[in-house]
Chains A and B, each alone.
Chain A
Amino acid sequence: MQHGKYRFIVGFLAIPLGLYALFVIWPFVQSIYYSFTDWTGLSPDFRMVGLDNYARMLDDDVFWKSLRHSLLFALLLPLVTLGLALFFAFMINVGGRRRKGGPVISGVRGSSFYKIVYFFPQVLSIAIVALLFAFAFNPDSGAINSALRAVGLDGVQPLWLGDPDLALWCVMGVLVWSTVGFFVVLFSAGMASIPADLYEAALLDGAGRASTFFRITLPLLWDTVQSGWVYIGILALGAESFAVVQIMTTGPGGPDYSTTVMVLYVYQKAFRDGQAAYATTIGVALLVVTLAFAAVVMRLGRRERLEY
């Protein structure tokens, strides 16, 4: 297969690689360079300012707030989402009642129904989900507060997104709502490939459901959980949190910057405040956080690989 091989390789790679280099790689390289300049983004002139932007960033209270919120997202969101998803997936696939003479493991009744319904949010745009919940959280005419009124809780009418102490949790709740279903389905597929005789053996040894989960299901599913952890963490630091915070909270960024996240702060500095260079500096910090997050999860999660 040597004939014309290199011409073919170049011919096939040139366009995709060129496009990718121009629109993805080159901007990444540029933005690291720009973070050492005073470029505004509005005019083509700029000069090198060394580490000024980085010094400014360390003194910027809003930056620290956004960093704190982003870290909270990256740590808490996977914990809650993956925890819920594991519970639901286990119940759906393995949690069925053990009937005499029936199969060793069985899902609950209606398991395929649950899997279909839980997956709904995954196919919707996060922007649409955020809009929908912004209406639901509206303190006066929103669905949530009026439901509270309807059940007689007239005294409990939180401002939700308007309350600096609550807004962040509302936003996080929406992200959980929209991501759990995907992982339920993902973990279900993983659980379905765990051989039934392992469960049989556990049952013979008298293991309950909890120990079956922690001794069999979770260890055998660990690889999937781990890659899910990285995946959702990257989403929580990037595009998803940008959409929900930008769309749902006032400002955007919430009352008193209570919901601002790094990715939103980059966007605002670059495209609202005309401080492109400073925006790329925060962006570099976001890059460092993202890579560190992925590295820590991969390192902490490293286990001996189980073959089955």
Chain B
Amino acid sequence: MSTPFRTAEGGRIDRATTLQFTFDGRSLTGHPGDTLASALLASGQHQVATSIRLGRPRGISAAWAEDPGGLVQVEEPFPEPMLLASTVELFDGLVAHGLPGQGRLADVPDSARYDAVHHHVDVLVVGAGPAGLVAALGAARAGARVALVDEQSEAGGSLLSGTDRVDGVPALDWVADAVAELARHPEVLHLQRTTAFGVYDDGFVLALERRTDHLGAAAPRRVSRQRVWRIRARSIVVATGAHERPVVFADNDRPGIMLARAARTFLHRYGVLPGREAVVFTTNDSAYDAALDLARAGVQVQAVVDARPAGSPQRRAECERAGIRVLSGSVVTGTEGVERITSALVAPFTDGEVGAASVIPCDVLLVSGGWNPAVHLFSQARGRLRYDEVLGAFVPGEELDGLAVAGSAAGVLDLAGCLADGQRVVRAALSALAIVPAADDRLPSAPEPVVPAAPLVLWRVPDTSEAHARTQFVDLQRDATVADIARAVGAGLRSIEHVKRYTTIGTAHDQGKTSGVLTSGITAELLGIPVQDTGTTTFRPPYTPVAFAALAGRDRGRLFDPERVTALHDWHVAAGAVFEDVGQWKRPRYYPQPGEDMETAVLRECAAARTGVGIIDGSTLGKIDVQGPDAAVLLDRLYTNMMSSLKVGAVRYGVMCGVDGMVIDDGTVLRLAEDRFLVLTTTGGAAKVLDWMEEWVQTEWPDLRVHCTSVTEQWATFPVVGPRSRDVVGTLFPDVDVSTEAFPFMTWRDTALDGVPVRLARISFSGELAFEVHVSPWYAVAVWQRLLEAGRPYGITPYGTETMHVLRAEKGYPIIGQDTDGTVTPHDLGMAWAVSKKKPDFIGKRSFARPANQDPRRKQLVGLLPVDRHTLLPEGSQIVEFVADGELPPPPVPMLGHVTSSYRSAELARPFALALVKGGRERVGDTVHVPVNGTLVPVEVTGSVLVDPEGARRDG
């Protein structure tokens, strides 16, 4: 429970409130404002886990997302793997443990909500550090629509880690004022805990906002836990700061070794000392701040080890005043300790030669090898990077349209410079958008920077020992070392992309934030080529890991895919329908009565339609209004058969083919007027056929005076089917003469029901006498109920898609897309009669003359009757030649075709099937075999029409 490394005062934590949490089974405490990492360090714990391959102890080595070491698994409140202790905000009741590289997904559904929001701005600023805040203020003051996103829990960026002053006041006071001012601008969206993780074309940026993660179990359930912001920005300012870079040396992975800036962050932001005795190893001036700050906070700074021969004269003087020893021209060559560093090995470093090492005891070793600008988003936007010899880092190497980099992300490493750069960059962005900066947009002041001594670029401490190379870690998470890079180079790999994949460096959760540039540098060194030529691996989204749950957002459960329903849906539900998904439509498949399974329900429904009367909701049928003087011309070109000869009042079945002559859709066409047709398509083909029509009208035949309009949902459609359908329709619509003579097959009549227009059509998809009733869906429920009332004396039976399929299959009516597969012609379906020989041309016609189309061995639609009269052939079953001994010969067994539809028939009192069979029509009467569950089932090939082949029933 003790936190011996917590400072007495300071930091951005709420010391008045204590939070309880459990790590690796230990009960610990922290405060609001802590991360899991800072709370662990406060208790004196550096080690978080052991490494994935070598099992070496690993600890917290950075204070944010660049940490390669501190991976944890959260268990409570909800299991989540692969989080970083340094980015998990502490909350009461957190239970977590360290992870050796691999976590465990929750085995229960995530009950948290996730969502997404689209947002549009003139200027998006990524990063609320000094440059980003100045940029956001400049854009906001100009009246622009602005979004400012920053991944930390509060604004300030690098200012949170130090003791800087801006405008003569503590920097964080200035930050607070800036944040308050932004909040007053109505067109500013300021989001903290929000990581811009991907930049895409045309100013599109994805950002992940962690809205309630930090609240733990107290998170409000109705608020999304995380939100993906889909931001479209006219201009993007990337002010993402820089990552400190380590230097590689032997045994550089022990707990207690961390980046110098991270130590300042833990001290100033969290009020935590990283240890009692520190050694600071640096190649540049910035780490001196860590040494001086820690010394002031009471840490014994044993030495600053500066690799530069002359070190930094001015910083050396500061250190001497503070009583800190500075060893210039020295490097750390190794460390000692197991679960925690106990000492650093320090040796003179002259002209690239490392001398004999001496031992300096310490419990923390701070390292700084310079700074890598966080160019990730710039690079994702395809910005070219340039290697800066002085910084030893890659910086933006060109100007991009609509995206500019400001502050340390552009390689500006001093505060005054970052503030000025933020203003310069946003003004350029505003200017490109023709937005005038406000007159009161003032640049805040910061102390004139002391010019730092030139940094030294040092990727790794020279070491000729092969054994040492195996503990010179480059990517701590992957346990990948200098020896691994050497092996990659030795194997002949020169491309940094290949080295990455060979060594796996940069492929862990941190995506190489600390190891990437090191790898470029060390590879260049080993190859003896300039670092610029090595380059970096490609930066790809996401910048930090994003949970799939966040990307899925609200598109899950019932909202995963829209459920389309007809006007009768609630009636179907109340009637106990079992639904089937047909595309996005929910269609009743059958209506089981108590005790019925699908088979019995369907047999009952089929019998009703064949012997009495049935009714089905066919409203999902696609419907297209084709109107204009050239409507008939268009349909003649689209259908294989003639439509222009159709009389007003009549209906014709038609088949549509693609340019390859293969059937793409079928349906009926009603001629409503000389210049107007109603085209009925399959349920699934509705949108496709309308697009098809538009494509031809718009691109090939713009001269045709015709318009096509979807009316699928303008008409509810109820086929009333069966020998008693005439009685039902005649009862409900007494003013229509429903006799065969007055209302023949394939005609339609308009009528009305209580003043509401109704269209009746004698169309049959079952072979039975049938009337389609078309009415506006506004009145669908009322008309459906009236039909049921009128049909009650005849036992009218609602039926679903399964019965519809059986009835049509018994008549050999194909379903396009089930009995066809894009390689089937009308002739293959036995529909040569539906292919006009008179029309000069229509889509698909030329293909019918191809020799392949004339081949008598083409697969043709036939019926199949299992000889045993009881086997239901599984749809998709293969069909093979009859084998006398009933044993399937060894493969390959030539395939004759496959079963496309298969049902039990009430009418035939046996199962039957439709199938595509090679030369099928020639084989009618033959017996073939269908392997079913390892047994060869003999089936008889028949014509495709199994019920009422004479068509005697269609008129009742």
Verify that A and B bind, or say they do not: no
The chain B residues found within 8 Å of chain A, CB to CB, are none
